[in-house]
């Protein structure tokens, strides 16, 4: 009986397939060396527009398999190892293929079950907006979708847009807060500054009678 391919091998090959399509940037030489020399598979971390992305895959189709893949992907994000993590469930027939070229061809044309986790929304699904359904609020019930490799690029792009948009809002709020904290003490000790600021903002000051 031919040796069955481990899940870690499938993760590495998926990373290589995504790299060839320009969807991610992966250390191709290191990953190929690990495959060829049968070494212990490394954690699959790739670069996605400057963000660390982890791939955590399992083989099967049961709810328990999906839960295990979800927990592994979520743990990568919660530990800070990755900004984005993909939970992948591969078709049961893939491990039976032992040749790397066969596995690459099979993964390229397979329909995969995937779920996306991000740093800012660790366990919320960002694939749902693609279907016009909104976001999933429950971290215990990630939403899985079926996707081929090419569509996975669209799913990741939506996750990236949501993640970076949230970071921009947070950074802007921090900048405003910092500016107000620096400016407010000056107003408390300088009445002239208050009047000038009010005039610049179009705020009329009250007269003594109005007070």
Q: How far is CA 149 from CA 56, 146, 188, in A?
A: 15, 10, 59
Distance between CA 21 and CA 17 in Å, rounded? Answer: 7
pLDDT of 134 reads 38
For residue 156, pLDDT over 70 is answered with yes
The pTM score is 0.68
- 8 A C-beta contact, residue 135 and residue 124: yes
- Single out the residue of 128, 119, 136, 13 nearest to residue 73, CA to CA: 119
Distance between CA 120 and CA 166 in Å, rounded? Answer: 7
Q: How far is CA 180 from CA 168, 176, 191, 197, 201, in A?
A: 18, 6, 17, 13, 15
Q: How far is CA 71 from CA 64, 81, 142, 149, in A?
A: 11, 14, 10, 22
pLDDT digits 0-9 by tens, 90-146: 999 888 887 888 889 999 999 999 999 988 754 344 444 444 333 344 444 678 999
pLDDT bin (cut points 50, 70, 90) of residue 177 is low
pLDDT digits 0-9 by tens, 52-104: 999 999 999 889 999 999 999 999 999 989 999 999 999 998 888 878 888 89
Q: How far is CA 21 from CA 14, 18, 108, 199, in A?
A: 11, 5, 10, 57
pLDDT of 209 reads 53
Lowest model confidence (mean pLDDT) among 2-16, 151-165, 166-180, 193-207 = 166-180
- 8 A C-beta contact, residue 94 and residue 59: yes
**Mean of per-residue pLDDT scores for the chain:** 75
pLDDT of 1 reads 33
Percentage of the chain modeled with pLDDT above 90: 34
For residue 20, pLDDT over 80 is answered with yes
How many Å is the Cα radius of gyration of the chain? Answer: 25
């Amino acid at each position: 009986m031919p040796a069955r391919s481990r899940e870690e091998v499938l993760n590495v090959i998926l990373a290589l397939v995504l790299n060839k399509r320009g969807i991610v940037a992966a250390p191709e030489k290191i990953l190929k060396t690990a495959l060829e020399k049968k070494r212990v598979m490394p954690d699959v971390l790739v670069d996605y527009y400057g963000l660390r992305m982890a791939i955590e895959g399992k083989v099967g189709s049961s709810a328990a398999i999906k839960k295990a893949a979800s927990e592994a992907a979520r743990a990568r994000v919660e530990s800070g190892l990755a900004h984005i993590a993909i939970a992948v469930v591969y078709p049961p027939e893939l491990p039976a293929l032992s040749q790397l070229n066969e596995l690459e061809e099979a993964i390229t044309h397979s329909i995969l079950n995937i779920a996306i986790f991000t740093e800012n929304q660790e366990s919320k699904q960002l694939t749902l907006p693609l279907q016009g359904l909104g976001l999933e609020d429950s971290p215990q019930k990630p939403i899985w979708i079926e996707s081929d490799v090419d569509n996975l690029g669209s799913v990741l792009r939506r996750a990236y847009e949501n993640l970076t948009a949230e970071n921009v809002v947070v950074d802007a709020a921090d900048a405003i807060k910092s500016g107000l904290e620096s400016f407010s003490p000056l107003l408390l000790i300088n009445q002239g500054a208050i009047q000038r600021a009010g005039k610049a903002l179009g705020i009329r000051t009250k007269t003594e009678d109005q007070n």
